[in-house]
């Protein structure tokens, strides 16, 4: 089994990562664009996600009703994701059918039509998608917390966008966004699976190299100013259950502190699972579970960081116990945060976090789609080496590092606390 | 890539090992040394079918409690062992069967099987843990009451399976879960848990003989006298006319709509034709014909699809859509029109060919992870499909013709006798 990957930059700037994996007759092909909600101004929030939807609406060569059937007919699975920093498209296909995916992706890198009637019907589809999100108390709370945490930086708004902008954006807005960001020199292609590297690279060159490079997209440069004092907010809505979200400011994934913080996350809230196509593990012996769930302040607690381009958030989400008040849970949380900032963690806890990460990596490597995912994903915020050396970097973390980052990043003055207050009030 | 290589990657008698232990435990295993991990999944005969009406949620409470303390270990000790090695193990409850899913690095398989065995054979239902768990279950039910999708589904089952055990939610109701005592949990476990009917699938970086040896060590000695047989299912009364119900959940932005009918059992001869037909109706490409009409052409919904749930008893064949509360009737009419067209005209030769290619082509992808293979092995065992099922699959799919799809659609779907549930404002 050959698992080394190759990296090539085509003459038009498209970066291509290839990894042969010959365990099953499957290939997963990914195209990643450096465009997400961070590239959106007010009035056009949600535009990157909407463009992603329009990428399924056809080109002259692959009209809409042909496109969605073509992949399915060959037994492929495909999807796309828009995130704050990037937009990604993948097809996982039987190995002998991958050419269709390559042709499709090269075609829609520059030839999507954005027909006005398709834009119109997609407008209401996305509004419906947003309404589905709005049904969820945790979406309501998360949106409010995020917009409070980022007053200046475009991480301010949700990827789905604001309803006001979904109603008013035009076909021209969408098409211009597409043309500005969907460029080979703003993209990374990652292919993993059952192929020969030289043959695959030759085919990718043939299909993608004729697409001309474009002007490097302009980026918004609006760093978030430092926060000087805790901010609290509340959201009211239907239901009988209260939730609290506490967000601390975290560094970018390429920052050296990201690794001790990952260890800290693991022991505070259970390890975050960064795999997109593989489940995580439970967190019932994490410090926060023991302090909050076992002691019946909350019925569940989760924490997680995300790997981002600009500094983002570490979010702790608590579902409050029906007999408790949100303030009581927050006070119990604060005691644990205080403890980790003041007391050194044990070597055993660190070793445990590393073993957990090793297991999650092994689960993620079972599936070829997830391996294709990682090659491109890591490129979006660092590079593939970040992923390949992740366990080594985690293994180098010391108890002193963990305490230092706990002290630095878990400051009460630099957090946002949001509470969801249910209309039915407390049951007890 | 040749077809031969594609076929040889599918599980079959050549690489699935199956053994029934003397105490009745069935083990299926298939090796995969491509990743150093292993999956353990399985099921056993202790589903919600056994629940008395007034104690609905009992079987689910028991499965949720299995890892909250055993004769050998406390709740915290169990999870300390599991989580320290990055392993996971969880139980779930179905109507007929309950089940479990676990995974670990291959080196930790003995630990995973030992914890599984302790949870299945020796739970102690500690009092304080049971009360903590009850509060968590009740919070889950309070959240369910606000979830338009969960509530539409519950209302739908209530209409379609009226008077039948399938109408009941496995997780019960707040008033029934409140009444379940610790003694009842222990009694349910004593009466229904045992080696008979216990099936395990182990897939990953372990040799078959080693996997079976480890299962024997963990569960081979388990004996239970008087393990109860599952009650027989009463006959299902089919709907005589369309019945609809709107469950109000104030303050929501979106309503969930479910329109459907009774579907085949997994072992029914029509299953494959129904499955192919369903794919055309509401799965293929962007959610099939339903997606085309409700989402692509009308822009009414982000999701609108059909699904078939075929199990040991009669299943459901349903269309689900999440729509603006103002658009419920419009989506409803479009969906019923599509169902009418489906039973009047059937499917085209092109649609049929597309779906057949889709079914055959996607199979290796659904089987690429250890979890995917474990589900496939359990599917084979539960429905007695034969160890060569996935190798015969292409032939079974290709046997389905347009007439079979049409006849099956007409047998199960009567557009004048539908169950329709809406949950939302």
B148-188 per-position pLDDT tens digit = 999 999 999 999 999 999 999 999 999 999 999 999 999 99
Please identify, in words, the CATH class of the domain defined by A231-422: alpha beta
CA-based torsion, A353, A354, A359, A364: positive or negative: positive
Of residues A274 and B417, which shows the higher confidence score? B417
Q: Does the domain formed by B243-424 have CATH 3.30.830.10? A: yes
pLDDT digits (tens, 9 = 90+) for A160-182: 999 999 999 999 999 999 999 99
A64 and B CB contact within 8 Å: yes
Do B14-219 and B243-424 have matching folds? Answer: yes
Q: Is A282 on the interface with B (CB under 8 A)?
A: yes
Distance CA A53, CA A81 (A): 9
A77:B84 CB<8 A: no
pLDDT at A3: 58
Do the chains contact at A25 and B6, CB–CB below 8 Å?
yes
Delimiting residues of CATH 3.30.830.10 domain(s) in chain A: 5-208, 231-422
Return mean pLDDT, chain B.
95
Which CATH entry fits the domain spanning B14-219: 3.40.640.10, 3.30.830.10, 3.40.50.920, 3.90.1150.10? 3.30.830.10
Task: Mark yes or no for CB contact B301/A56 under 8 Å.
Answer: no
In DSSP terms, which residues pair with A393 in a beta bridge? none
Give the closest-approach CA distance of B277 to chain A in angstroms. Answer: 15
Q: Would an 8 Å CB–CB cutoff place B77 in contact with chain A?
A: no
Residues paired with residue A19 on neighbouring β-strands, in sequence order: A5, A192
On the question of pLDDT at A425 being above 70, the answer is no
Give the β-pairing of B243-248 and B419-424.
parallel
Judge: domain A5-208, CATH 3.40.50.300. Answer: no
Q: Which of A68-82, A199-213, A239-253 shows the lowest per-residue confidence on average (mean pLDDT)?
A: A68-82
Question: How many angstroms separate the first and last alpha carbons of chain A?
Answer: 60
pLDDT in tens, B35-81: 899 999 999 999 999 999 999 999 999 999 999 999 999 999 999 99
Angle (CA) B237-B243-B247 rounded to 5° is: 120
Domain ranges of chain B: 14-219, 243-424
The whole-angstrom separation of Cα B348 and Cα A180 is 41
Q: Can you tell me whether residue B233 is helix, strand or coil?
A: coil
Query: Does the beta-carbon distance from A26 to B82 stay under 8 Å?
Result: no
CA proximity to A92, closest of A105, A70, A69, A75: A75
According to DSSP, the β-strands at A26-33 and A187-193 are: antiparallel
Q: What is the pLDDT of residue B7?
A: 54
pLDDT confidence tier of residue A64, bands split at 50, 70 and 90: confident
Q: Is 60 exceeded by the pLDDT of residue A428?
A: no
How many residues appear in chain B?
A: 425
Q: What is the C-alpha to C-alpha distance for residues B408 and B404, in angstroms, rounded to an integer?
A: 6
State the average pLDDT over residues B403-419: 98
Interchain contact B248–A (C-beta under 8 A): no
Q: What's the pTM?
A: 0.94
A287 touches chain B (CB under 8 A): no
pLDDT single digits (tens) A348-380: 999 999 999 999 988 988 889 999 999 999 999
User: How many CB pairs below 8 Å do chains A and B form together?
Assistant: 212
Q: How far is residue A422's CA from residue A136's CA, in Å, rounded to a whole number?
A: 12
| Touching B: A residues 378-407, CB under 8 Å | none
User: Tell me: the pLDDT tens digits for B198-220?
Assistant: 999 999 999 999 999 999 999 99
Q: How far is B100 from chain A (nearest CA, A)?
A: 14
Which of chain A's residues have a Cβ under 8 Å away from the Cβ of B148?
A: 135
Flag the least confident range among A155-159, B9-13, B238-242: B9-13
Please give the radius of gyration of chain A, using alpha carbons only, rounded to the nearest integer: 23
Q: What is the mean pLDDT of residues B317-323?
A: 98
């Amino acid at each position: 089994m050959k698992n080394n990957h190759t990296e090539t930059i085509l003459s038009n700037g498209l970066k291509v990562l290839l990894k042969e994996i010959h365990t099953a007759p499957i290939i997963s092909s990914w195209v990643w664009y450096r465009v997400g909600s961070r590239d959106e101004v007010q009035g056009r929030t949600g535009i990157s996600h909407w463009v992603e939807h329009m990428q399924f609406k056809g080109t002259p060569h692959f009209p809409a009703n042909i496109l969605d059937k073509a992949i399915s007919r060959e037994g492929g699975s495909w999807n796309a994701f828009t995130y704050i920093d990037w937009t990604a498209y993948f097809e996982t296909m039987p190995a002998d059918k991958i050419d269709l995916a390559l042709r499709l992706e090269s075609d829609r890198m520059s030839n999507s039509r954005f027909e006005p009637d398709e834009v119109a019907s997609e407008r209401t589809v996305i509004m419906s998608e947003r309404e589905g999100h709005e049904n969820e108390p945790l979406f309501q709370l998360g949106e409010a917390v995020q917009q409070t945490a980022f007053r200046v930086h475009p991480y301010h708004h949700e990827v789905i966008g604001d309803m006001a902008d979904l109603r008013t954006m035009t076909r021209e807005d969408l098409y211009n966004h597409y043309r500005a960001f969907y460029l080979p020199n703003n993209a990374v292609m990652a292919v993993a699976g059952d192929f020969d590297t030289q043959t695959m690279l030759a085919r990718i060159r043939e299909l993608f190299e004729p697409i001309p490079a474009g002007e490097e997209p302009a980026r918004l440069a609006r760093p978030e100013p430092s926060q000087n004092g805790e901010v609290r907010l509340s959201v009211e809505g239907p239901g009988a259950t209260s939730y609290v979200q506490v967000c601390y400011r975290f560094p970018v994934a390429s920052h050296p502190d990201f690794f001790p913080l990952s260890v800290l996350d693991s022991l505070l809230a259970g390890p975050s699972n960064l795999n997109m196509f593989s489940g995580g593990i439970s967190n019932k012996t994490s410090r926060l579970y023991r302090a909050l769930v076992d002691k019946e302040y909350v019925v569940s607690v989760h924490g997680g960081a995300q790997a981002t381009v600009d500094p983002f958030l570490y979010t702790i989400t608590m579902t409050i116990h029906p007999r408790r008040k949100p303030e009581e849970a927050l006070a119990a949380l604060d005691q644990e945060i205080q403890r980790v900032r003041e007391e050194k963690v044990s070597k055993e806890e660190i070793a445990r976090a590393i073993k957990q990460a090793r297991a999650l990596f092994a689960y993620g490597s079972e599936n070829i789609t997830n391996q294709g995912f990682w090659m491109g994903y890591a490129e979006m915020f660092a590079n593939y080496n970040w992923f390949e050396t992740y366990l080594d970097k985690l293994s180098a973390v010391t108890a002193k590092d963990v305490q230092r980052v706990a002290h630095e990043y878990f400051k009460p003055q630099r957090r946002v606390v949001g509470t969801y207050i249910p209309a039915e009030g407390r049951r007890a | 890539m040749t077809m031969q290589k594609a076929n040889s990657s599918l599980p079959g008698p050549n690489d699935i090992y199956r053994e029934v232990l003397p105490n009745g435990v069935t083990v299926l295993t298939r090796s995969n040394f491509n990743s150093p991990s292993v999956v353990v999944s399985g099921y056993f005969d202790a589903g919600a079918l056994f629940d008395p009406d007034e104690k609905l949620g009992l079987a689910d409470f028991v499965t949720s409690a299995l890892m909250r303390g055993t004769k050998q270990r406390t709740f915290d000790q169990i999870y300390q062992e599991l989580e320290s090695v990055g392993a996971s193990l969880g139980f779930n409850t179905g109507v007929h069967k309950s089940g479990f899913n676990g995974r670990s690095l291959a080196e930790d398989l003995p630990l995973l099987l030992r914890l599984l065995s302790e949870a299945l054979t020796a739970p102690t239902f500690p009092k304080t843990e049971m009360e903590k768990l009850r509060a968590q279950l009740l919070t889950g039910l309070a959240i369910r009451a606000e979830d338009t999708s969960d509530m539409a589904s519950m209302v739908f089952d209530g209409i379609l399976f009226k008077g039948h055990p399938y109408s009941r939610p496995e997780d019960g109701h707040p008033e029934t879960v409140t009444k379940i005592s610790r003694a009842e949990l222990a009694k349910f476990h004593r009466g229904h848990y045992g080696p008979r009917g216990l099936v395990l699938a182990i897939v990953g970086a372990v040799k078959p003989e080693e996997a079976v040896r480890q299962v024997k060590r963990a569960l081979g000695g388990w004996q239970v006298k008087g393990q109860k047989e599952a009650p027989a299912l009463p006959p299902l009364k089919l709907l005589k006319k369309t019945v609809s119900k709107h469950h109000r959940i104030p303050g929501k932005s979106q309503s969930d709509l479910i329109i459907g009918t009774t579907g085949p059992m997994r072992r029914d001869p029509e299953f494959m034709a129904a499955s192919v037909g369903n794919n055309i109706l509401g799965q293929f490409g962007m959610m099939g014909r339903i997606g085309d009409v409700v989402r692509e052409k009308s822009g009414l919904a982000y999701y609108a699809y059909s699904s078939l749930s075929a199990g040991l008893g009669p299943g459901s064949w349903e269309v689900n859509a999440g729509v603006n509360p103002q658009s419920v009737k419009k989506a409803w009419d479009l969906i019923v029109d599509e169902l009418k067209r489906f039973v009047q005209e059937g499917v085209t030769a092109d649609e049929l060919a597309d779906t057949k290619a889709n079914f055959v082509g996607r199979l290796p992808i659904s089987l690429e992870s250890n979890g995917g293979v474990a589900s496939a092995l359990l599917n084979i065992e539960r429905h007695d499909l034969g160890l060569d099922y996935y190798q015969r699959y292409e032939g079974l799919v290709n046997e389905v013709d347009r007439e079979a799809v049409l006849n099956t659609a007409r047998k199960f779907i009567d557009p004048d006798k539908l169950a329709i549930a809406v949950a939302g404002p």
